[in-house]
Amino acid sequence: MQDISRINYPELDQPQVLNAHSPAEKKKLLSIPGADHNDILAVGLDKYMGAITDLVSSINPN
């Protein structure tokens, strides 16, 4: 059986392009080197949670 967890999806290989085409006014592209969709938390938990904290703080600064 093929391990589909590491399949390369070319349309998602360029997050900068997707970010540039997003109509959102406030956005942040978070890069976690060495991580992919399946292991992002294992590789970059602190950085990921920091970005979530920043997002929530920007919505509700109290």
Question: Hey, what are 51's tokens?
Answer: 């970005």
Distance CA 32, CA 54 (A): 16
Residue 11 confidence (pLDDT) above 60: no
Place of tokens 């956005």: 27
pTM of the model: 0.64
Q: What is the pLDDT of residue 7?
A: 56
Mean pLDDT across the stretch 55-59? Answer: 89
Contacts of the segment 35-38: beta carbons below 8 A, 24+ positions apart = 36/6, 38/5, 38/6
Predicted confidence band of residue 48 (pLDDT cuts 50, 70, 90): very high
